[in-house]
Every structure is written in C-alpha cells, then in structure tokens.
Copies of this chain bind each other. A is one copy, B any other.
Amino acid sequence: MTKILFRLIDLQNYIVRFFTHYDVPEADAAIVADVLTSADLRGVDSHGIIRLDSYYGSQIRRGLIDVKSPITVVSETVASLALDGGTGLGHVVGYNAMLRCIEKARQSGVCMTTVRNSNHFGIAGYYAMMALPHDMIGISMTNAQPLVAPTYGKTALLGTNPIAVAVPAAENLPYVLDMATSIVPIGKITVYQKAGKSIPEGWGVDKEGQITTDPNEVLAGGALMALGGPDYLRGYKGYGLALLVDILTGVLSGAAFGGNVGGPSKGKVANVGHFFAAIRIDAFRPADEFKHDMDALMKQMKDAPKATGQDRIYIHGEKEFELAERNRAQGVPLMAEVVRQLQEAGQRLSIPFDLESVGQVEE
C-alpha cells in the first residue's frame, strides 16, 4: 500500500490548528496532537490522525464532546483518585488523569485512578508510558463501544477494552504491552472485507454466534471474538479480561459499561471510563536493581533458541519503538486514502490540510 510521508511536527501543528478551530485550548490541543501522532509514529494507524475529523471533530460538532469542561475530583484517598472527565476530549482527560496518578504515586508509592464521563482516548499505551521517565510502572485501560461477544453469546456487548502496561529497563527499551482484549480490532475485519479476502477462523462470529471466515458476516450483526478465540483455545479467558477491563474502567469509575458505552455512531454522550495506575518501583526495591533485572529477563527471552523458521524473539513494544524511530527520521506515513480524507474534511471545515509531503513509501 502506498503511504505518504509527512513531518511529525507538521502533523502536530495541523492537529493543533484543527482543534483550536473548535475552541479547544491550545495546550489541550497540543496534548491531543501528541497522543494521535504517537499512534501513527508507532504504526497503530487505526488510532491516529485517521480519526481526527471522522471521530473527534464530528463528536465535537454534535455537542457530544465538551472541549472546555473541567476535570473534577469525585473522591480521593492518599493512593486513589476518582475523576469525572466532564465529557471532555479523552486524550486531554487521560493525560491529566495519568499525570495526577503519577504525582500521587510519588507521594504514596502506588496510585490507582479511575475516570468517568470521558471519551475515546486514542492508544492506551501512551498513558502507561508516561510513567516511564519517573521510574514507575504505568498501567492504562479503557472501555469502548461494544464490538466483542461474550463466550457462548452472539451479540457485541464488550469493547475491545485494551490493557496497556509500561515498564522501564536499564539498557533495553522499555516493555510496553498495549493489547486489545479482542484478537483483532474491527478495522482489521474491514481491511479484509475491502480486499475481498476471508478472515482466519477465530477472529469473529456471525449474527448467530458461529465462527465465520466471512468478514461481511462479522460486520453485519456479528461480533469480534475475545483473545483466545474458540472454546478449545480458551476464549473465555479473553472474555474474562474484557470484562475485567470493563469492571475497572466502567463500573469502578461510575462510567457506562458493557453494551451501554457510547461510540461515534450512537448519537449520545459516550461516557467512556478509564483506569490508570502508577507504581513507584523504589517503593518495592531499588530502581536500578529492578531495571538491571528487567534487562536480564529480556535477555533470557531474546537470546532463547528460536523456533524453526524464526530468527528473532521480540519484547512487547520493541517493534513499535523501532518503527517510531524510523518514522521520526523519514517522516510519518499516512495512507493515501487518509490524506485524501484529511484534505476533503479540511476544505469543508476551512482548516485546509495543506502540508508538504516529504516522500512516499510502499508498506
């Protein structure tokens, strides 16, 4: 697929222009710009600038995201914080919630923070990684509009509810797990549909709850399967993890949960819930010893004998860090179709997407 390259800073500036056009305070717009472009940088196209207008812009215009609402404290202890996001932009709410979580963990060793009344916040990993420079472990989760069926069900009742955890190492890149609790995101099904290809058995079910290889069946009233997939591979564990994320993000925070979480197609306030945790490593043991042992654990994995046909064992986050490094240097790749959408929306909204491309790649 042809992708067009843009300078990171140009994309960020455009996103800031886009949101300030909608009266988002400039500092907040800069946060959204950083979160969105970090997705494109890391190769998570589905959570990046592609959603700029189709999701965030359109929700603001409908009055379903309130860009000036303050974040308020619902409840607080020395090690916990329950916040209300005031239906603000998820990225701004998430960023501020994680900042406060880190600050409280600095004082108390650990902190957990819940958020209600928020919106889609982009990649969960962004907020988990905010803990890294503080020698903390960061955890970030969110619920989302229903796309996943419970085991033995046929209706989408749970979001792809991601779990993200970031852990610093010494010499090695940090461990950054950022995983949906479904096997694949819904966008992956759409890609196969557009290409006229069958999907592997286990990604999704049809409207009768039967595993199907036809992407159209998944999209027409079917649902995604939770991690694990079919029964014999223990898909109920993935269903359990999706429920767990909904409990911590939705029920514990007092946000929407299960089938009630809103999304762009629902025409109502999303009331998304988030959960964050920050763990100060030196509350448990000296941070340099910990990071040295993280290196040792990673080395065990990376140096282990490879399966026939494989030449590398990865640590979670490694591929994304390498991609981000490349993209910072060569430019951030956007699908030609996404660029066209940005140009079209920019023209319509009088926020022209007139950035100069710095090249293109096939990938």
**Which positions in A face B, CB cutoff 8 Å?**
74-75, 77-80, 82, 108-112, 114, 137, 149-155, 157, 165, 167, 175, 177, 179, 183-184, 200, 202-203, 205, 208-210, 227-229, 232-234, 236-238, 240-241, 243-244, 246-248, 250-254, 257-259, 279-281, 283-285, 289-290, 293-294, 296-297, 300-301, 304-308, 310, 312-316
Chain B residue at smallest Cβ distance from A176: B240
* Bound complex: CA A255 to CA B157 (Å): 39
Given the complex, which residues of B lie within 8 Å of A294, measured CB to CB? 247, 251
Closest 8 CB pairs of A and B: A209-B307, A77-B109, A79-B79, A80-B109, A152-B310, A80-B283, A177-B240, A82-B284
* Bound complex: CA A229 to CA B200 (Å): 13
Q: Do the beta carbons of A150 and B304 come within 8 Å of each other?
A: yes
Known: A175-B244, A210-B307, A243-B301. 10 other contacts (CB 8 A): A74-B285, A78-B79, A78-B108, A149-B304, A152-B310, A152-B313, A152-B314, A175-B247, A177-B237, A258-B300
Main secondary structure of the interface of A (DSSP, over half): mixed
* Bound complex: CA A205 to CA B203 (Å): 22
Given the complex, which residues of B lie within 8 Å of A149, measured CB to CB? 304, 307
Q: Do the beta carbons of A243 and B175 come within 8 Å of each other?
A: yes
Given the complex, which residues of B lie within 8 Å of A280, measured CB to CB? 77, 80
Given known contacts A157-B304, A244-B165, A283 and B82 CB-to-CB distance under 8 angstroms: yes
